[in-house]
Amino acid sequence: MTNELNNEKSSKYDYSFEYIKKKLEGSKDSFGKLVKEVIRTGICSQCGTCAAICPVLEWDPILGEPRLVGRCSGCGICYNNCPKVISDPIDLVGEFKAGYVTKTGIPEVVGAQDGGTVTSLLCYLFDEHLIDGAVTTKKDPNRPWVPVAQLITTKEEAIESAGSIYCHSQTVDALMDGVRNDIRSVAFVGTPCNIDAVAKMENSPSGMLKYFMRAHVLKIGLFCMDSFSHEALYPFFEKEGIDLREITKMDINKGKFFLFRGDDEVKSYKIKELDKFKASSCNFCTDLAAENADISVGSVGSGPMKNTTLARTGLGVEIMDDAIKKGYIIAEPFSVSNLNSVLYLARLKKVMQYNVKARRVFIVSDMDREEPFEELPELKEQVEIAKPFGARRMLRVDQKINEAKTGVNIAIKNVVGFLLEKLDVRVATVEDIFEKRPWKADIKELYPFESIQIQYPIEIKDGKPALGEIIIEIFSDTYGKIFSRKYDLGPKEK
């Protein structure tokens, strides 16, 4: 290739580069974002696209990652061309036919969670006799703010069940109750994971609703960034001195979780502070906007007391347009800036799972190590599962003697979907009816499905490990004794 040709190519390339750079200007995507979301999280596939297209990036063959060799202008070309970054709007929020900014046109619905669009849609559907019933979620009358899914058959009940409860609700159970009781046409309100369950039942080859032609389900999806485990979040609120019976509204807005009593804000928390109470499944969910729904409704991008509404299917568009025409819903045009806010949040959710890093903590005893003993009886791995605590098993405990025969490795796994805090682990050797060599470890926090490994030193007598029985007991600050079991490590050396 001649130099002349080279130069001509590079100037044409530069022209295109500048053109795209200008187009992306202001999007605030920079090399730093690529580093944070793709390189540091370990999802970079080392294709080298970023370094190949940007004049100030070079591929570092030793580190196996791109390196800045000039000033980053923040144009985001590297970020937006990376195959691991999701930047296409359809990939971020799913396909939709029409977008709206909406609020209720029904006076009784004003004061619902946001614009009251979901409740207004249900009112419209009941008034027009388009549905026999609807699945909504209300608060359990006996346990404050615990969600209970229900099948309703009137618009009055729809108005009563307005408002968001930021915890998983077993909506499919209520749906199937309705289907079994000959409800033929039903509106189903649910978070993206609830909507996915119904979509799967409708579409998968063995789906329970696929060949069941007597039921038609209109799926109304709620946008959802996070859902919480009420077993973990509510005790935290109570510890903070909040009486949940007095709380009339919970709201997530602009990265904060608010609790209200009437119009008064009782308390607010940064969502990050509450991350540990998040339902573990949300760490792996990438669907913000209920992509499999007929109509998806959220608050992001719409402004206060309004909704962002996406009609995805033909039926969804017809229902929305008729509800607007008949005054149930008031709609404003959906602008690029409304969409951009949704896209921004959707992208955060799509990349969230990359930031989940398995934590593994080792607490190693400081006991002096003896030389490994040679001839030990056969010891096989013993795996025991904790006895149920109440109706729920909270921990799985595995134990195994280490290779050097100097200690018992004890792996403790949180098998409930919420954070366990302040665990005291007590291990002792059992001799006849006496417990000897008690040993303690504190675990400050054990995240959902996290496993922590600790080591109990084996007593060495006359150069040989003294085996026999050990007892492992685990106490939780909140739930009391949640684990207790004896293990036989093998016959004692004489």
Ligand X SMILES: Cc1cc2nc3c(=O)[nH]c(=O)nc-3n(C[C@H](O)[C@H](O)[C@H](O)COP(=O)(O)OP(=O)(O)OC[C@H]3O[C@@H](n4cnc5c(N)ncnc54)[C@H](O)[C@@H]3O)c2cc1C
Nearer to ligand X, 133 or 163 (CB): 163
d(CA 446, CA 419): 6
Pick from 50, 77, 224, 352: which binds ligand X (CB under 6 A)?
224
Our finding on whether 217 is near ligand X (CB under 6 A) is no
Q: Based on C-alpha coordinates, what's the Rg of the chain? A: 29
Nearer to ligand X, 55 or 144 (CB): 144
Q: Helix, strand, or coil here: 457?
A: strand
Write the single-letter amino acid at 205: P
User: In the bound complex, what is the minimum distance in angstroms from residue 257's beta carbon to ligand X?
Assistant: 10
Segment 304 to 333, residues that bind ligand X, using CB under 6 A: 307
Tell me the window of 219-227, 400-408, 418-426, 451-459 that interacts with ligand X (CB under 6 A). 219-227
Q: Which residues sit opposite 456 in a β-bridge?
A: 408
User: In the bound complex, what is the minimum distance in angstroms from residue 150's beta carbon to ligand X?
Assistant: 8
User: In the bound complex, what is the minimum distance in angstroms from residue 103's beta carbon to ligand X?
Assistant: 8
Q: Are 104 and 323 in contact (CB under 8 A)?
A: no
Pick from 99, 105, 163, 221: which binds ligand X (CB under 6 A)?
163
Nearer to ligand X, 289 or 386 (CB): 289
Q: C-alpha angle with apex 226: 222 to 231, nearest 5 degrees?
A: 110
Residue 298 host element (H or E): strand 295-298
Q: Are 104 and 116 in contact (CB under 8 A)?
A: yes
Pick from 190, 192, 221, 457: which binds ligand X (CB under 6 A)?
190
User: In the bound complex, what is the minimum distance in angstroms from residue 170's beta carbon to ligand X?
Assistant: 9
d(CA 269, CA 256): 6
d(CA 124, CA 102): 14
Tell me the window of 189-197, 201-209, 362-370, 454-462 that interacts with ligand X (CB under 6 A). 189-197
User: In the bound complex, what is the minimum distance in angstroms from residue 98's beta carbon to ligand X?
Assistant: 17
User: In the bound complex, what is the minimum distance in angstroms from residue 450's beta carbon to ligand X?
Assistant: 23
8-31 as b/e, with b when 16 or more CB fall inside 10 Å? eeeeeeeeebeeeeeebeebebbb
Segment 166 to 185, residues that bind ligand X, using CB under 6 A: 166-167, 169, 171
d(CA 362, CA 22): 50
Our finding on whether 298 is near ligand X (CB under 6 A) is yes
Our finding on whether 116 is near ligand X (CB under 6 A) is yes
d(CA 269, CA 237): 10
User: In the bound complex, what is the minimum distance in angstroms from residue 327's beta carbon to ligand X?
Assistant: 16
Our finding on whether 229 is near ligand X (CB under 6 A) is no
Pick from 105, 115, 133, 316: which binds ligand X (CB under 6 A)?
115
Structure tokens at 108: 């009784």
Binding site for ligand X (CB under 6 A): 112-119, 136-137, 147, 161-167, 169, 171, 189-191, 194, 222-225, 227, 252, 297-300, 307
